[in-house]
Amino acid sequence: MNSFKRMTSMFTVLAVLSAATSCGSNVGGGSADNNAPVSTESTTAAQEAAAPAVTEAAADPAASTDTATFVSGTVTETTAVTTVASTETTSSVTPEFTLDSYDITVSVGGTKTPILSVQGLQEVWTTSNENVAVVDEYGHITGKSEGNCVVTISLKDKPEQKAEVKVTVVAADDGLTYIQGMLIANKTYSLPADYNPGGLTPETQAAFNNLVQGAANDGINIYLSSGFRSYEYQSQIYNNYCSIYGQSTADTFSARPGHSEHQTGMAIDVNIIDDSFIGTPEALWIEAHCNEYGFILRYPQGKQEITGYKYEPWHIRYVGIENAQKIREKANEVGDPYLTLEEYLKIDSVYQN
């Protein structure tokens, strides 16, 4: 009888120990069952509730397991949402901006600037076509030639934050013709009689000063013989040549009033203004180096049918260093050492009457 009681007592102890061990598997501890029904359902509900804003860390299964263990096998919806919200609060959010206009019209040579609703941003401005319009770092959009393009503004550190402005460039209402940003005066395109920049443009004068110095450094003497000419002065010159040589001959080397590049304030005749200048060291230097200073040889040899004027190695035209280099590059590309402005811009030079 005593033996039977001892055996019964032992079975009772074992049963109690077994129950205690079983309970321990469902209460927080290193050997927790991560697939227990209660924990899985609670975790899934919390993840689904916070799904729209789940971060990379919250999506990690291991991270979900650690959270379940920490709260002793019970993950509440409130706990999960609070964790995600905390993550969102610490992330940086790019401020949005708007413009006062997304569709502007500007005349050739004119400038307009879209206004930002948020100031102090580090914005980047770009244009889809520099031949139509250019834009500087401050958003000043300047028309270069008639046409359409798109100017884009984006944030320096957040390039995905951007806006686009449709730009339409129309002809200037002052009677001037700009093509790819260059003022044109030839037999086809004229200038108004009252157009008068008052002399060589400051850019032209400064560039010519640099050219003269560059030539001097090479032992070449270049000087200005004729610069700006007003409409009235060109009329006197042209009419005088017509009376001496006749109009048809005069038209081969002298421009009609309103059609002279000298009236633009960006054309210069250097040194000797006649055929004796041809082949001189000065003429050869001009042909080889004027583009380095923003000038082009305006009436090259063999191009009379294109420009409408005979070869004039003394006549140079300021177009800016960038344009001068582009024209030279294009000339090299087509194997022509002296590409004319008409060829480069694909325009003609023919009097209409």
Distance CA 262, CA 289 (A): 21
- Compute the Cα dihedral for 261, 142, 330, 349 and give only its sign: negative
Beta strand segments in 203-311, E: 224-226, 267-270, 295-299
The DSSP-derived string for 76-133 is -HHHHHHHHHHHHHHS--PPP--BS-SEEEEEBT-EE-PPBSS-S--EEEEES-TTTE
How many residues does the structure list for the chain?
A: 353
Catalytic residues: 312
CB 126 within 8 A of CB 152: yes
Greatest CA separation found in the chain? 155
267-270 β-sheet, strand order: 224-226, 267-270, 312-318, 295-299
Distance CA 139, CA 119 (A): 12
**Rg, Å, the chain Cα set:** 40
Q: H or E segment at 11?
A: helix 2-24
Angle formed at CA 146 by CA 141 and CA 150, multiple of 5 degrees: 45
Q: What is the DSSP letter of 197?
A: -
* Contacts of residue 201, Cβ cutoff 8 Å, sequence gap at least 6: 264, 265, 266, 318
CB 291 within 8 A of CB 324: yes
Distance CA 288, CA 280 (A): 12
